[in-house]
Structure formats: structure tokens, C-alpha cells
């Protein structure tokens, strides 16, 4: 999603700004641009193509400057056109880049029009540009501090003005922004990744902060207006681009990295202790009486799976809510609940807002299951469990999901043990199951050639149904989401028992029905549901555990999974669904790693 990079230096900073955009590219965007300060006003180049094309434009036109701001835009207000691409100007004096959404932009636009400002884009960002311009009296830092008081919504901004050629001002509320400290030069970015290497240290701005970067240093003012010092943390050098190796796409690479990612996520301890979640987790866990999980998309499905584990293993009441719904719903807060947020990026705006909402309702015990140690979410929560999936570049989440499941399973067993529901013997069995998981996953990944054969058939379909039961219902949901988001085939998932309550009407010979069939307590029920589909001519594509003895016959295609893997079976069963979506998308020729309209990290509402 949108990305910001800014810098003030004594050298041509354009290559650094463009390199920063390149590092943020994987998050998804539909236009990009860069502006530098010149004595005649800001100058810019913009593109609705890739950052590489922006770079080419900049090189060809010898576009250079010592102070500048750059942006990748994921359109919210106004189509992805060059005219709407950031940086956005105000009266050829000021340039701004903006992540987020300004909710009161219409009222502000009318007020600014009345003052004679002309609007040339469809963006909400242009109101911020003109607003700051209207308040500018020779000090950009003051003008921005004044302007942000009038903004409602979420923003992270970077601003430059022609009369202050060695100054960049930034501000944030609701969208992340960091300041980077270099030697004799300073930086601004929506993610430390963009400036790592150029900046040796970063400062994470807090809600409502406004900062001023000059060659001499950095000033930060908090929401109340007074200047503050914020802790500077060392930033690790940028790890470079992630090589694809033998894979066609990052998604395929990330699917195949799952055994390693899971191995890295399982702690090296021999027992499940609360301290895996933070120093004071034991005390927190003893005081809680329920769990509230908040997440979006694939991370939400990890939460739905975890509910089954938490209630069956730890016997603790668990609710799972879609973060974007929870934040606006009137709910009954329980101060004794542990709020668990799940996120790959740790920057998803809806999940962060839901977390803050829960905290504002008095739920102070919070735990993040997250893949990014330095993320906003990890910094906001009392406890955390870091998944060690490594960088996930494909928009479709794969290894982040399975490592989240590992973290959530460990949480369930840890709580179960603490609450007296998991014996030492069971604990040892769960640990054994976890430790063997990477090897078991390798067995599932070896099914790829059989899945490719199915994918060729799916590529010709426009609809698909996914069925699962119990612990595997969320896995069916995740399989359907994967297929939709990268192959653009319409897919729905149902708990198989629900079929006859409506969706069975959709079943004809043209409808492939993917069935997740583990050898668990619900197998016989599931087999009856499969018969309901066959009786209506539906074609079944079944991922069946070897010990189910389900075999291929007319209208029933079977891929044989390993033998049933107990409570961790969902982690094995999601993998063939990821592969099916991936190969179907390849067969349809879609942009697998950057599917249309989607972004990797959804930092706006």
C-alpha cells in the first residue's frame, strides 16, 4: 500500500528516494512519484507504471535535488492517474506526500475553495497541501502543526516548501512514519526498511507527532505542541532484494519455505512456558478468563482456527472478530479478556485501530502474534509472539499464515497447561507433533505435480466451492480466499453441514467442490455431505488423509495427503490449497505476486 520516503542531504538524494520506493514496492501501489525542492518551486516526476519507469524518467531528465519526498500510491480518492499521483503541489510552492485517508476533506475543500484555492486532482491529499500552504508564514514546522489539528482521519505526511530548501516536515496519526538519522543527512519513511543503510538509527513517531528534519538535526513536537525526545533505535542494514532462486514467483517460493519458517518459529524449549510470550506473561495469563482475537483476512482465519484449539485444549472461552467490524461495533468489554491481535505486517490499519479500541474500553491485556518485530502492533501490545516466517513478498499470505497457526497452537497448549488441562504427557506429545511438522510439510509439498494437473482444470472454471468441517472449516475459508485473490475465480467456503441450507442450489456439473477431508471425528459426517454434492452432479476434488480410505471414483477426484496429523492437521491441509490457487493463477496468467487491486500491507481503512 502507500509508501513514503523523504530526505534532506547535501548530495543528490533522488537515487536514495527511488531506492526507498523500490523496497516498498512489494506492498502494492498503482502510481508513484518523487519531488525535489528547487528555488523556483518544487519539481516532480510521476508515473502510473512501476518504480523502474519512474527511475528511468528521473535519469533521462537529469532530475536531481538535495531535499525531496517520494511516494508509492494505492488509490483511495481518485483514480490511479498521473494527475492524482503524489507528490501533490500547492501553488507551486509546497509539495506533499500522504498515506491514509482524510475524512473531513470535503468540508476542508469547500473552505479552501472559498479562500481561492484551485483543486486540480481528485485526491483528499490536495486539501492538506492547500491547508498547510494557507497557514504558512515562513515556518513549515509551525504550519504543519497547525494544519494537522484540523484533519480528521488517518495520515502520515511528508512536506517540503520552496522557501525552506533544506527542510522536510513530517506528521503522523493513524498511519506509521519513522525518522531516520544519518550522518549529516536525515530521512523520513513510512517503514524503516525504505531507509535502512542510509540511516543508521530510526525514531518511531508516536500518534500526533510532527517532526522537522534539517541538515543539522531533527525536532519532534507531540500532539500537545511541546517538543519531545523520542528513543532512537539502531536499524539493521537492508538485507537486499530477496532472490527468487528456482521459483517462478515469490508466492511459490514462500509456499516452499514453510517447513523452514515453521522450524524457525517453534521455540527451542522442551516445555510450553508463558515466558515465550513475554516476561510478565505468566502473571497476565493467570488473571484472564477469556480471549478476544482481532485480525483481518488470512490472519483472521488463523484466529478462527485458533478458537478451536483454545477452547478444546485450553478450555478458555474465545471470540474471534474481524477487526474492521469490531472497531465500530458496540460490544461488551471484558477487562479480564486477553486481546490477541494477529498480523503478518503488524501495520494493518483496521487491526491496529481495533486493538486501540479494545484498549480504550479498558482491556489492557494484549498480545500480538506478528511477523515484524519492529512493527507498530508489537510496540503497542503488552505481550507478543514473533513468527519467524522471514519477509513475505507475495500479496497472498502463505508462510505468514502457517507460522501464525504455530504461534497460536503454542498459546493454546501453554494456556491449557497453566489452567491444568494439559498433562506433562500431552505436552510432550504436542511438542513432538510440532517438531515433526516441517518434515510432514515436505511430504505435502511433494504433491505439487498432482495439484498442477487439477489446476489446469480449475483454470477453466469461474466458480468454486470449498468445504471443510470443524477445525478445517477455516482452512476451507483460507483456500477460497487464496483462489479468489490470485486467480480471480469466484470461490466460497462453507462448513460442509451448511450446504443443504442454501449453497447446494449452486451445485451442478460445472461447479468444482474442493473438500478438505482429514481423518477426524467428523469424517463420516463429511462423507455424507460429499454424497449430497455427488447426487447433484457436482465434481468433488478431495484432499483426503491417507487413513480415510477415500478413493477416486466417478466425479470424485482424490489427492492423498499423509496420515491424519491430529490437532495440527489444518497446517498440513492448507498447503495443497495454497498450491492449487497458485497453479490455477499461473495457468490463467494473472500477476500472482501483485494481484489486481490488492496491496500487501493495508495501512488505510
- 102, 491, 517, 602: which one contacts ligand M6R (CB under 6 A)? 602
Q: Phi, psi at residue 289, to the nearest 5°?
A: -125, -5
Closest to ligand M6R by CB, 334 vs 584, is 584
- 397, 402, 584, 590: which one contacts ligand M6R (CB under 6 A)? 397
Full DSSP string of 358-399? HHHTT---EEEEES-TTSHHHHHSSEEEE-------SSS-SH
Closest to ligand M6R by CB, 47 vs 344, is 344
Closest to ligand M6R by CB, 34 vs 602, is 602
- 178, 386, 395, 561: which one contacts ligand M6R (CB under 6 A)? 395
Between the alpha carbon of residue 380 and those of residues 302, 339, 383, the distances in Å are 21, 12, 9
Q: How many CA atoms lie within 13 A of 524 on its CB side?
A: 1
Identify whether 586 is a catalytic site residue. no
- 84, 167, 252, 345: which one contacts ligand M6R (CB under 6 A)? 345
- Catalytic residue (one of 2, 211, 296, 586): 2
Query: Least CB distance from residue 297 to ligand M6R, whole Å?
Result: 2
- 67, 84, 305, 348: which one contacts ligand M6R (CB under 6 A)? 348
> d(Cα 459, Cα 293) in Å, to the nearest integer?
35
Closest to ligand M6R by CB, 342 vs 383, is 342
381 belongs to the binding site for ligand M6R (CB under 6 A)? no
- 31, 164, 299, 387: which one contacts ligand M6R (CB under 6 A)? 299
324 belongs to the binding site for ligand M6R (CB under 6 A)? no
Contacts 24+ apart (CB under 8 A), 239-243: 239/391, 242/391, 242/393
> d(Cα 295, Cα 280) in Å, to the nearest integer?
24
Closest to ligand M6R by CB, 315 vs 356, is 356
Q: Phi, psi at residue 308, to the nearest 5°?
A: -60, -45
Residues that contact ligand M6R, how many (by CB under 6 A): 16
Between the alpha carbon of residue 460 and those of residues 66, 489, 550, the distances in Å are 53, 9, 26
Spatial contact of 494 and 476, defined as CB atoms under 8 Å apart: yes
- 190, 298, 519, 584: which one contacts ligand M6R (CB under 6 A)? 298
Which three cell numbers, joined as nine digits, stand for 324? 474492521
The label of the residue with cell 495469563 reads: 285
396 belongs to the binding site for ligand M6R (CB under 6 A)? yes
- Catalytic residue (one of 399, 482, 594, 600): 600
Full DSSP string of 3-33? EEEEEE-SS--HHHHHHHHHHHGGG--SEEE
Spatial contact of 251 and 217, defined as CB atoms under 8 Å apart: no
**Contact positions with ligand M6R (CB under 6 A) in 472-491:** 481, 485
58 belongs to the binding site for ligand M6R (CB under 6 A)? no
Helix (H) or strand (E) holding 172: strand 168-173
Full DSSP string of 203-241? EEPPTT-EEEE-SS-EEEE-TTS-B----EEE-PPP--P
296 belongs to the binding site for ligand M6R (CB under 6 A)? yes
Query: Least CB distance from residue 395 to ligand M6R, whole Å?
Result: 5
Query: Least CB distance from residue 29 to ligand M6R, whole Å?
Result: 15
- 589 by Cβ neighbours in 10 Å (0-12 / 13-18 / 19+) ranks as exposed
Identify whether 211 is a catalytic site residue. no
> d(Cα 164, Cα 89) in Å, to the nearest integer?
15
Neighbours of 315 (CB within 10 A): 14
Helix (H) or strand (E) holding 305: helix 297-313
Query: Least CB distance from residue 358 to ligand M6R, whole Å?
Result: 16
Beta pairing partners, 94: 90, 161
- 351, 402, 487, 584: which one contacts ligand M6R (CB under 6 A)? 351
The conformational region for residue 267 under phi > 0 = left, psi -120 to 50 = alpha, else beta, is beta
Query: Least CB distance from residue 79 to ligand M6R, whole Å?
Result: 22
Stretch that binds ligand M6R, among 34-42, 81-89, 260-268, 343-351 (CB under 6 A): 343-351
What track of x and - describes contact with ligand M6R for positions 60 through 99 (by CB under 6 A)? ----------------------------------------
403 belongs to the binding site for ligand M6R (CB under 6 A)? no
Closest to ligand M6R by CB, 94 vs 353, is 353
Closest to ligand M6R by CB, 172 vs 399, is 399
Helix pair angle (125-135, 140-148), 10° resolution = 130
Which three cell numbers, joined as nine digits, stand for 337? 479478556
Closest to ligand M6R by CB, 16 vs 489, is 489
Query: Least CB distance from residue 393 to ligand M6R, whole Å?
Result: 12
Give CA 333 to chain center in angstroms: 26
Q: Provide, for the chain, the percentages of residues in helix, strand and coil under a 3-state DSSP scheme, each rounded to the nearest 5.
A: 40, 25, 35
Spatial contact of 188 and 210, defined as CB atoms under 8 Å apart: no
Residue number closest to ligand M6R, CB atom: 297
Query: Least CB distance from residue 25 to ligand M6R, whole Å?
Result: 16
Which three cell numbers, joined as nine digits, stand for 104? 473531513
Query: Least CB distance from residue 401 to ligand M6R, whole Å?
Result: 7
Closest to ligand M6R by CB, 548 vs 578, is 578
366 belongs to the binding site for ligand M6R (CB under 6 A)? no
297 belongs to the binding site for ligand M6R (CB under 6 A)? yes
Closest to ligand M6R by CB, 395 vs 455, is 395
Query: Least CB distance from residue 384 to ligand M6R, whole Å?
Result: 14
Closest to ligand M6R by CB, 35 vs 372, is 372
Which three cell numbers, joined as nine digits, stand for 173? 496519526
Query: Least CB distance from residue 209 to ligand M6R, whole Å?
Result: 23
344 belongs to the binding site for ligand M6R (CB under 6 A)? yes
Query: Least CB distance from residue 478 to ligand M6R, whole Å?
Result: 8
Residues taking part in catalysis: 2, 600
Give me the residues that bind ligand M6R (CB under 6 A), please.
Answer: 296-299, 343-345, 348, 351, 395-397, 481, 485, 601-602
Amino acid at each position: 500500500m502507500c509508501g513514503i520516503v523523504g530526505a534532506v542531504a547535501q548530495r543528490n538524494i533522488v537515487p536514495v528516494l527511488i531506492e526507498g520506493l523500490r523496497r516498498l514496492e512489494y506492498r502494492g501501489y498503482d502510481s508513484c512519484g518523487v519531488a525535489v525542492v528547487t528555488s523556483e518551486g518544487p519539481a516532480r516526476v510521476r508515473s502510473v507504471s512501476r518504480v523502474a519507469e519512474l527511475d528511468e524518467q528521473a535519469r533521462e531528465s537529469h532530475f536531481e535535488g538535495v531535499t525531496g519526498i517520494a511516494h508509492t500510491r494505492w488509490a483511495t480518492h481518485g483514480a490511479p492517474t498521473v494527475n492524482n499521483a503524489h507528490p501533490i503541489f500547492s501553488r507551486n510552492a509546497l509539495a506533499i506526500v500522504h498515506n491514509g485517508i482524510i475524512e473531513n476533506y470535503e468540508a476542508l475543500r469547500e473552505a479552501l475553495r472559498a479562500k481561492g484555492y484551485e483543486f486540480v486532482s481528485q485526491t483528499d491529499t490536495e486539501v492538506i497541501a492547500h491547508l498547510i500552504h494557507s497557514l504558512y508564514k515562513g515556518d513549515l514546522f509551525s504550519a504543519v502543526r497547525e494544519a494537522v489539528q484540523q484533519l480528521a482521519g488517518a495520515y502520515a505526511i511528508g512536506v517540503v516548501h520552496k522557501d525552506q530548501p533544506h527542510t522536510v516536515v513530517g506528521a503522523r496519526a493513524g498511519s506509521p512514519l519513522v525518522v531516520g538519522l544519518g550522518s549529516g543527512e536525515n530521512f523520513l519513511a513510512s517503514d524503516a526498511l525504505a531507509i535502512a543503510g542510509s540511516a543508521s538509527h530510526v525514531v518511531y513517531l508516536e500518534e500526533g507527532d510532527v517532526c522537522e528534519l534539517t541538515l543539522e538535526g531533527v525536532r519532534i513536537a507531540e500532539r500537545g505542541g511541546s517538543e519531545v525526545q523520542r528513543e532512537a533505535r539502531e536499524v539493521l542494514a537492508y538485507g537486499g532484494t530477496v532472490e527468487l532462486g528456482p521459483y517462478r514467483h515469490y508466492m511459490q517460493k514462500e509456499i516452499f519455505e514453510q517447513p523452514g519458517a515453521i522450524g524457525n518459529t517453534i521455540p527451542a524449549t522442551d516445555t510450553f512456558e508463558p515466558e515465550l510470550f513475554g516476561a510478565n506473561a505468566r502473571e497476565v495469563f493467570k488473571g484472564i478468563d477469556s480471549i478476544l482475537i482481532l485480525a483481518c483476512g488470512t490472519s483472521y482465519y488463523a484466529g478462527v482456527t485458533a478458537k478451536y484449539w483454545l477452547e478444546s485444549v485450553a478450555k478458555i472461552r474465545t471470540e474471534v472478530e474481524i477487526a474492521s467490524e469490531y472497531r465500530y461495533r458496540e460490544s461488551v468489554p471484558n477487562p479480564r479478556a486477553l486481546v490477541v491481535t494477529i498480523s503478518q505486517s503488524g501495520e494493518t490499519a483496521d487491526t491496529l485501530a481495533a486493538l486501540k479500541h479494545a484498549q480504550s474500553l479498558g482491556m489492557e491485556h494484549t498480545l500480538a502474534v506478528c511477523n515484524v518485530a519492529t512493527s507498530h502492533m508489537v510496540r503497542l501490545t503488552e505481550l507478543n509472539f514473533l513468527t519467524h516466517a522471514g519477509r513475505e513478498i507475495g500479496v497472498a499470505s502463505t508462510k505468514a499464515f502457517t507460522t501464525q497457526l504455530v504461534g497460536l497452537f503454542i498459546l493454546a497448549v501453554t494456556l491449557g497447561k497453566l489452567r491444568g488441562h494439559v498433562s506433562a504427557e500431552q505436552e510432550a506429545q504436542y511438542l513432538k507433533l510440532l517438531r515433526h511438522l516441517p518434515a510432514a510439510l515436505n511430504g505435502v509439498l511433494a504433491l505439487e505435480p498432482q495439484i498442477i494437473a487439477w489446476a489446469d482444470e480449475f483454470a477453466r472454471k469461474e466458480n468454486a466451492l470449498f468445504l471443510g468441517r470443524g477445525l478445517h472449516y477455516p482452512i476451507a475459508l483460507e483456500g477460497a480466499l487464496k483462489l479468489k485473490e490470485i486467480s480471480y475465480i469466484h470461490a466460497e467456503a462453507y462448513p460442509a453441514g451448511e450446504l443443504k441450507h442454501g449453497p447446494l442450489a449452486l451445485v451442478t456439473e460445472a461447479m468444482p467442490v474442493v473438500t478438505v477431508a482429514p481423518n477426524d471425528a467428523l469424517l463420516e459426517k463429511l462423507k455424507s455431505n460429499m454424497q449430497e454434492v455427488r447426487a447433484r452432479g457436482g465434481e468433488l476434488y478431495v484432499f483426503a488423509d491417507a487413513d480415510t480410505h477415500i478413493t477416486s471414483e466417478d466425479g470424485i477426484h482424490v489427492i492423498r495427503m499423509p496420515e491424519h496429523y491430529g490437532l495440527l492437521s489444518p497446517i498440513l491441509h492448507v498447503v495443497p490449497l495454497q498450491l492449487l490457487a497458485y497453479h490455477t493463477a499461473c495457468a490463467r496468467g494473472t500477476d500472482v505476486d501483485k494481484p489486481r487491486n490488492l496491496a500487501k500491507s493495508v495501512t488505510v481503512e
